[in-house]
Chains A and B, each alone.
Chain A
């Protein structure tokens, strides 16, 4: 089956610092990856669509300068939360598209102090 990994699985950082989260498709190539955010007791909210070799497409209300997405290869997309604040604390989940399916990574729990 298709496997998607995320690293790190959890991270705690100080307010004002930047955090990078990696999303890898381990056994398939993904031209499209998606980044979601999930606050406690809420559903997944799509943040952006990451396309290999081109700029990411951000959803309305998501600051592209704060959430930097790079999809430099067919197996790796990164999300960098710049100048993180406590309100950015959330569960970040990536998914990779293969054919007509999306496969989810295990998620990254970000806590900003």
Chain B
């Protein structure tokens, strides 16, 4: 099974940078995803890491260290619309070519002026 841990809430200022950490314990690791979820809406895909290192996509970057079971999502030049929950999700191989995605509890980010 998985044990995915991320902070419950964070607050940051508009224009600033914020880092949301995620630690996990799992077997059959097959990738780590970050999703953004606004209240009452389904998650939207932000990033995917399967190898160690940093993946950059515009204002968002995600880092993975498989040996440490650790990832972070970095948001730069924060905007008010970035206020949302950010979900860390780990994909596990479940055998026979199948896998499943398990979500952390999410980090609620509040961006303040």
- List the interface of chain A (C-beta within 8 A of B): 32, 34, 36, 42-46, 49, 91, 93, 95, 100-107, 109
CB–CB B98/A32 < 8 A:
yes
CB–CB A34/B100 < 8 A:
yes
From B33, B35, B45, name the one whose CB has the most chain A CB atoms within 10 angstroms: B45
CB–CB B104/A43 < 8 A:
yes
B103: interface (CB < 8 Å): yes
List of B residues within 8 angstroms of A36 by Cβ: 103
Write the chain A residue with the least CB distance to B89: A44
A111 to B33, CA, bound (A): 30
A21 to B111, CA, bound (A): 35
Beyond A43-B104, A104-B43, list 10 extra A-B contacts (CB 8 Å): A32-B98, A34-B101, A43-B105, A44-B103, A93-B43, A100-B31, A100-B48, A101-B45, A107-B41, A107-B42
CB–CB B41/A106 < 8 A:
yes
Majority SS at the chain A contact face: strand
A109 to B31, CA, bound (A): 29
Q: Which B residues from 37 to 62 make CB contacts under 8 A with A?
A: 40-45, 48
A104 to B46, CA, bound (A): 12
List of B residues within 8 angstroms of A103 by Cβ: 45
A34-B101, A102-B101 given; A93·B48 CB < 8 A = no
Write the chain A residue with the least CB distance to B106: A43
Interface string of B64-77 (1 = CB under 8 A from A): 00000000000000
A107 to B39, CA, bound (A): 12
What is the distance, in angstroms, from A6's C-beta to the closest C-beta of chain B? Answer: 8
List of B residues within 8 angstroms of A109 by Cβ: 40
What is the distance, in angstroms, from B95's C-beta to the closest C-beta of chain A? Answer: 11
